[in-house]
Amino acid sequence: MATDFQEKACEKALREYRKKYLTKKENLNADESTARLMVNSLLSVVLGYTLIDEIKTEHMIRGTYVDYVVQLNKKIHFIVEAKATSIDLNERHLKQAVDYASNEGVDWVILTNGRCVELHRVIFEKPIRSQRIFAYDLTNLSTIRTAAKHLVNLTKKSVLRGDLDKYWKRFDALTEDNMRKAIKSPDVIRSLRLFIKKKSTINFTDAEVAKAIDKLIS
């Protein structure tokens, strides 16, 4: 995982990015071409990737051009969908980016309009779906530090060290779906049954405990 030093460096870069681009009213209503300049800075200055070599624009996937891809050692790590700062990010933008990513076998999608940034994980199941990991409004100064703690996992150094994979595993382990599975696992049900027996002196069956859990989490 990222060190405190790396988190602070990411936070510093984010604050500088915000000051340069997001404190000017004209930038908050900019068209897509201006937003592209902001996204270039976000990917290169904040996240540490090299323009041209690692940040590719208008990359073709099955006959369609993607706004950006970020690649290291010829492997694409992120599909980046960029919109004008005046446009709010929405589900249609996400679906478009996820379609691109699934066609290319890419796990990660970044949605951004320069002022907001979202990270989504593509889940290669049938049907293909995605899991939102985080979404931050970079104009909001009060959440910059928290945003940096998450965005640092997207930096070049973190990706090369495998920190992004660890970040995903930690996130995935505590998703609602996995927590439900864990709570309903035989080992947990047995432990709960024994705990209840100790507290109440009543010996319930595993099935009875499982039914009570279903009512609780349904």
Token pair for residue 180? 């439900």
- In whole angstroms, give the CA distance from residue 128 to residue 94: 12
Residues 143 and 209 both lie in one domain:
no
pLDDT, tens only, 58-103: 888 888 899 999 999 999 999 999 999 999 999 999 999 999 999 9
Provide the domain count of the chain. Answer: 2
Residues 111 and 191 both lie in one domain:
no
CATH number at residue 44: 3.90.1570
What's the confidence (pLDDT) of residue 18?
A: 96
Residues 28 and 116 both lie in one domain:
yes
Instruction: With cut-offs at 50, 70 and 90, classify the pLDDT of residue 195.
Output: very high
Residues 130 and 97 both lie in one domain:
yes
Residues 167 and 181 both lie in one domain:
no
Residues 17 and 43 both lie in one domain:
yes
Burial of 155 from C-beta contacts in 10 A (0-12 / 13-18 / 19+): buried
Residues 56 and 137 both lie in one domain:
yes
Residues 41 and 142 both lie in one domain:
yes
Residues 32 and 91 both lie in one domain:
yes
Percent of the chain past pLDDT 90, that is, above it, reads 83
Q: What are the angstrom distances between the C-alpha of 7 and each of 45, 144, 147, 150, 152? A: 14, 11, 10, 9, 6
What's the confidence (pLDDT) of residue 121?
A: 98
pLDDT, tens only, 1-46: 788 999 999 999 999 999 999 998 888 888 888 889 999 999 999 9
Average pLDDT of every residue of the chain: 94
For CA atoms 57, 17, 82, 7, the dihedral sign is: positive
User: Which residue has 């000017």 as its token pair?
Assistant: 24
What's the confidence (pLDDT) of residue 1?
A: 77
Residues 92 and 138 both lie in one domain:
yes
pTM of the shown model: 0.89
Residues 37 and 60 both lie in one domain:
yes
What's the confidence (pLDDT) of residue 32?
A: 81
Q: What range defines the domain where residue 153 resides? A: 4-173
- DSSP letter string over 139-150? T-GGGHHHHHHH
- Bridge partners for 141 per DSSP: none
Residues 127 and 202 both lie in one domain:
no
